[in-house]
Amino acid sequence: MIIKNITQWFHDLAHVWVRECWLVLHEKGAIIFFFVLCAIYPLLYATIYNPEIVRDVTVVVVDDDRSQESRELCRQLDATPEVCVVAYAADMQEARRMMNEKRCYGIVHVPREYSTSLSRVEKADIDVYCDMGVLLRYKQIVTAVTNVQQHLTSEIQAAKMAAVTTAGAIIESEEVPLGNTAMGLASAVLPCILMLVLQQSMLLGIGTLHGGSRERRLANRGHDPMEVPAGVTSTVIGKALCYVFMYAIPMVYVLYLVPKFFDFPQNGRLLEVLTFTIPFLLASAMLGQVLKIFVNDRESAFIALAFTSVIFVFLTGISWPRCAMNSFWLAMGNMIPSTWAANGYISLQTGGATLRQVEINYWMLWLLVILYFVLACIVEYYLCRPRWRRMRHYAKRDAGALMREEYRRQAVDILE
Amino acid sequence: MDLKLFFNEAVKRGLVQLVRRKIYYIMMVVAPLLCSLFLLSLMDGGSVTRVPVGVVDLDQSSLSRNIERNLAAMQGVHIIKHYDTYASAEAAVQSGEILGFFLMPADLERSALNAESPKVSYYINYAYFSPASSQYRGFKTVSVLANGGIVKTVLDATGLVDGETVSNVLQPIASHAHALNNPWANYSYYLNASFVPCFLALFILLITSFSIGAELKYGTCREWISSAGGSMGFAIFGKMWPHTLIFTITGWTIQLIMYRIYGMPLNCNPWNMIIAMFLFVLANQAFALLMMCIVPNFRYGATLCSLFGMLSFSFCAFSIPSETLYPWINALGHIMPVRYYFLLSIDQALNGIDLYYSRVYYAALIVYPLLPLPLLGRLKHECLNPIYI
């Protein structure tokens, strides 16, 4: 008896899997989300962020000193990769006007006493005013000014105190970037976005498939001719396995080939990355089967789910770090597969970690698989199936009831 | 007389449709407000502080302990662990336990006192940008201070210069960076000025294309036009104006939350931003309408709108300066209304400069509602001769 039940369960599972695969391949929306979106989005994002490093932020100089020293300062500033001196302004008013007209994003003001102060061994001040509209511009201007300042300082010190110190500093210091050694913007942001693309495209695709099923029921008196009569667990697992199976190729493309195309950090071992991704895809497939409840027709998948991408991106902590989040948002982030997956993938691919070093992420993903599997079963059993039963019930009493309800919601009835 | 009747009919239909579908309540009021609150409360801290870092002290001298104490006092970093070797610290960075570490070599103190120029180094994980710059600031300051401390001691000892000029010799040039109107370099003030309106724009684009597309999909577009007496203008107006009203009120509420509750800088006359929000809502509706006129099909029109809505977070140059982007991506960014609203809000709300300098941005927002007008006939044709898929 038990053995018969078990074989029946596996039989159902296989049946659901085959049918769902057929549906995916015959639903245009699902193909678009599962394959086209995965193919194009990573390329689009990578292209947008590909310039990687901000160079030559425009600044103007107000030089009230007009000395050899002040000109040297400006020359060195212009020579930095970060900024570019576009003009000399006569006074602060003129510089301010240029800034308002967006001809520059920073003003460097050298006061009248600059060279005198230097020769008198007094402190020589320079003022830098930065536009704060885009933070990276500010960062580049400050970096350039600090570097020039330090370079000039060590030159001056070398000249003045040759007797005391040999070459510049006594304790030298050096910065070593880890992982993203080029300090590029795309290399930092993209690994996270790649994981998000996988998760979000899957959620959208599952939503679309669910919407399609509901539309078939509207047209068929509450019956979906494509539905496989199977138990709740075998339906949920069968569908999830189908979605993960469908992602076999997109997964390799997005996580392995795209970083190759754009030369992002690739320190991960392919096999480990893929092993790590399996529970992530499974968790996403389960999450999709929970969130599908918010989708009523094929097209509203976009409306109901698209905006969650931005929220999920922020929850991964790529922009505002997780160490600075409050515990509520940390907990919310912990509930989303992409949080663990993106951070784990960054460690694997950018940091060159081994799978063992990110085992917390790996096991958390499996935990989420179980959590969302339970939730998906609840959604299927307590929400979806009763809803379909009600639809059949109404349709039995009045064949046109379902379509009439759709028209009522479009406000067509008020014309009658 | 008839005109008035049709006008009323169109408006009535628009309103009834709005209240009968739950998706409108959620996507026009609840979701935009929640998303704005999400971003604002997520970054409420303003700047990234107490980034978890490690220390590798191979010297264990009084100098190295002194440096470490200085590091512990830094606001940007938080020492959570000590490591015995470089390798163990690097492994901790890889597994994400810490985001960087400070390494002091063996014989640091001895070499420093022998003037052999020892080198301290700091390792920063640049996979995460904003904590990286907090760490950089902390580590760099500590290294410079350490050097300064030693040099000061040496100079004092030589007696070549008196105490007052020592600091001038150490730092002959002082640069003062003035971060205009955001002196704290508050990340939330900077990022949310663009991302919050971009969220609202996304919802406006989605809902506008959805409400027009649904007519096409359910084959109700003929009734839609005929209820407005065959006038496309009335039909659009009747459908759109309740949206305009609700979105504008949502937008104003978001502005209230941003500028009054979360205290983002508002250095202009508040009316400049209040009016800008109204124009922004109109411009986004017009943009979505334009998309639906160009592609009069629910699925493709809505896909286009959400594609643009999602991508505008990236290609509208909110975080990368526009001059750094590839020119064609920068040009693409300029077709989105949110780009102009963002530039306008920097000029007005952040910098509070004369309206004169933002004239182009206001003008751009005003022009958007005119763009779909020549193409309305195309949408009407599609509505009257629908192709059922």
Burial of B3 per CB tally in 10 Å (0-12, 13-18, 19+) = exposed
Write down the pLDDT at residue B164.
65
Range of the domain at B344: 2-44+186-384
Helices marked H in A107-184 — which ranges? 114-119, 135-160
Identify whether residues A246 and A306 lie together within a single domain.
yes
Identify whether residues A211 and A269 lie together within a single domain.
yes
> What's the domain count of chain A?
2
Copy the structure tokens of residue A312: 């999920």
Interface test with A, best of B126, B225, B344 (most A CBs within 10 A): B126
Phi, psi of A298 (to 5 degrees): -50, -45
Identify whether residues A285 and A191 lie together within a single domain.
yes
Identify whether residues A198 and A331 lie together within a single domain.
yes
Identify whether residues B117 and B196 lie together within a single domain.
no
The strand pairing partners of A85, in sequence order, are A59
In terms of Cα–Cα distance, which of A175, A159, A136 is closest to A54?
A136
Nearest CA in chain A to B359: A101
Q: A271: which residues sit within 8 A by CB, 6+ positions away?
A: none
Write down the pLDDT at residue A76.
96
Report CA dihedral (B25, B26, B27, B33) to the nearest 10 degrees.
Answer: 110
Q: A158: which residues sit within 8 A by CB, 6+ positions away?
A: A165, A167, A168
Helices marked H in chain B — which ranges? 2-20, 22-25, 31-42, 62-72, 86-94, 108-113, 129-158, 163-170, 187-217, 221-227, 232-256, 270-294, 298-315, 327-333, 337-345, 359-367, 376-384
Task: Return the SS3 of B231.
Answer: coil
The strand pairing partners of A127, in sequence order, are A109, B176
Q: Any CB–CB contact under 8 A between A300 and chain B?
A: yes
Residues 162-181 on A with a CB inside 8 Å of B are: 163-167, 169-181
Interatomic CA distance for residues B185 and B48, integer angstroms: 10
Interatomic CA distance for residues B67 and A206, integer angstroms: 55
Identify whether residues B61 and B118 lie together within a single domain.
yes
Copy the structure tokens of residue A395: 């349709």
β-bridge pairing B100-104 and B119-125? antiparallel
Per-10-residue mean pLDDT of chain B, 389 residues long, equals: 78 84 90 96 91 95 93 94 95 93 93 86 93 92 85 74 71 90 92 95 95 85 84 88 95 97 95 97 97 89 90 90 92 94 96 95 96 91 74
Identify whether residues B245 and B336 lie together within a single domain.
yes
Identify whether residues A18 and A89 lie together within a single domain.
no
Write down the pLDDT at residue A302.
83
Between A134, A306, A357, which is nearest B95 by CB?
A: A357
Interatomic CA distance for residues B115 and A368, integer angstroms: 57
Interatomic CA distance for residues A167 and A170, integer angstroms: 8
Copy the structure tokens of residue A44: 């689009």
Which residues of chain A neighbour B126 with C-beta distances below 8 Å? 177-181, 183, 188
Which residues of chain A neighbour B351 with C-beta distances below 8 Å? 100, 131, 133
At which of A110, A127, A160 does a domain end? A160
Between A32, A142, A165, which is nearest B151 by CB?
A: A165
ipTM for the predicted complex comes to: 0.92
**Does residue A168 form part of some domain?**
no
**Does residue B179 form part of some domain?**
no
Identify whether residues A351 and A411 lie together within a single domain.
yes
Q: Any long-range contacts for A399-405 (C-beta under 8 Å, 24+ apart)? A: A399/A221, A402/A217, A402/A218, A402/A221, A402/A222, A403/A218
Phi, psi of B105 (to 5 degrees): -75, 165
Interatomic CA distance for residues B136 and B307, integer angstroms: 36
Q: How many CB pairs under 8 A join A and B?
A: 351
> What's the domain count of chain B?
2
Show pLDDT as tens, one digit a residue, over chain A (416 residues). Answer: 889 999 999 999 999 999 999 999 998 889 999 999 999 999 999 999 988 889 999 999 999 999 999 999 999 999 999 999 999 999 999 999 999 999 999 999 999 999 999 988 888 999 999 999 999 999 999 999 998 998 898 888 777 766 555 445 678 888 999 988 888 888 999 999 999 999 999 999 999 999 999 989 988 888 898 888 889 999 999 999 999 999 999 999 999 999 999 999 899 999 999 999 999 999 999 999 999 999 888 888 888 888 999 999 999 999 999 999 999 999 999 999 999 999 999 999 999 999 999 999 999 999 999 999 999 999 999 999 999 999 999 988 888 888 888 888 777 776 65
Range of the domain at A258: 2-49+182-415
Concatenating the DSSP letter of every residue in B90-124 gives HHHHHTTS-SEEEEE-TTHHHHHHTT---EEEEEE
Identify whether residues B342 and B378 lie together within a single domain.
yes
Interatomic CA distance for residues B131 and B124, integer angstroms: 9
The strand pairing partners of B124, in sequence order, are A177, B100
Identify whether residues B216 and B346 lie together within a single domain.
yes
Residues 204-243 on A with a CB inside 8 Å of B are: none
